[in-house]
A and B are shown apart, each in its own frame.
Chain A
Amino acid sequence: DTGVSQDPRHKITKRGQNVTFRCDPISEHNRLYWYRQTLGQGPEFLTYFQNEAQLEKSRLLSDRFSAERPKGSFSTLEIQRTEQGDSAMYLCASSPFLQVNTEAFFGQGTRLTVV
């Protein structure tokens, strides 16, 4: 197992276009998280799944954002009608479960630039 994998690593898109990112978690990790990180800031929580169920969504996740994890394995994050403010690093993480004695493993991220 090579860890959490994210694709693509970089994406440049024109404003108004839709984009989709993919995250492949560590196998057998039933929890998967999406975070967004802007320049000079720490990651901000967007949403998380336990298996295929989306259990929490941040208010940062506007109606233009949708995340899925259809079979409880990989996940996709789609942004519709992208805006310049969506430019950020989108990070995915997975864990067997996130309690106080278990860490989340992060992928390398997808850097989105909206022009």
Chain B
Amino acid sequence: SQELEQSPQSLIVQEGKNLTINCTSSKTLYGLYWYKQKYGEGLIFLMMLQKGGEEKSHEKITAKLDEKKQQSSLHITASQPSHAGIYLCGAAQFGNEKLTFGTGTRLTIIP
């Protein structure tokens, strides 16, 4: 089965600083999803990457998928308190309809 490893597990960043979260897969990714979760709430879709080398941006968040399609990164520029939460990467396997999630990265933004 596919396993996703996220790093770091937790991150404390001063407001205004940049940060990067990584997601590494044990198998080739056919679709990589990034979600954000506030504590005790549901998941909010951020971005989906499909092609090797693909990069997508939304506001101050940029996600990339490497050429080998086994690693993705999520980069936040000029972090804000609203960015705080748990970031989860999820992978869809070819021919498989379910998502496998990483354990998440807990992001804390300090003034």
Q: Which residues of A contact B (CB under 8 A)?
A: 4, 6, 31, 33, 40-45, 48, 50, 55-56, 89, 91, 93, 98-109, 111
Contact = CB atoms under 8 A, between A and B. Distances in A.
Interface string B37-73: 0001111110010100000000000000000000000
B59 to A, nearest CB: 17
A108 to B, nearest CB: 4
21 contacts: A33-B99, A41-B103, A42-B4, A42-B88, A42-B101, A42-B103, A43-B88, A45-B98, A48-B97, A48-B98, A89-B40, A98-B97, A100-B30, A100-B48, A100-B92, A103-B33, A103-B45, A105-B45, A106-B35, A106-B43, A109-B41
A32 B97 CA distance: 10
Interface in B1-55: 4, 30-31, 33, 35, 40-45, 48, 50
Contacts, number: 69
B98 A56 contact: yes
A99 B35 CA distance: 16
B43 A91 contact: yes
Contact of A104 (B99, B102, B104): B99
B108 interface: no
B101 A44 contact: yes
Classify chain B: how many residues form its interface, as a range: 20 to 34
A102 to B, nearest CB: 8
